Amino acid sequence: MGFARSILSVAMVGALAGSLAACDSGGGSGQKAKGQLESAAGSLTGDAKLKREGQKDQVVGGVKKTVGDMKAAVHDATH
């Protein structure tokens, strides 16, 4: 049952991440959300690699969002 549960969780994360990526405008929010899903699925299934990948995506997505927010603020201030 553990293997089937792991496969199901990974498939669900993939499907949800694909949906989130389609909605993301490049600001990092989608990658951060995908990371949260991956990390949760990794914790649920005991898959340390998936959990680490999720944590990495959360950090990278957060950085991308911050950079995007800063760019928008600079653009707003100069126009």
Domain boundaries, the chain: 2-78
> Which tokens go with 56?
């990495």
Cα 79 to Cα 13, 26, 65, 70, distances in angstroms: 40, 22, 21, 14
Chain-wide mean pLDDT for the chain?
82
Do the Cβ atoms of 32 and 58 come closer than 8 Å?
yes
pTM for the whole structure: 0.65
Average pLDDT estimate for 21-40: 81
Do the Cβ atoms of 60 and 33 come closer than 8 Å?
no
**34-49: buried (b, 16+ CB within 10 Å) or exposed (e) per residue?**
bbbbbbebbeebebee
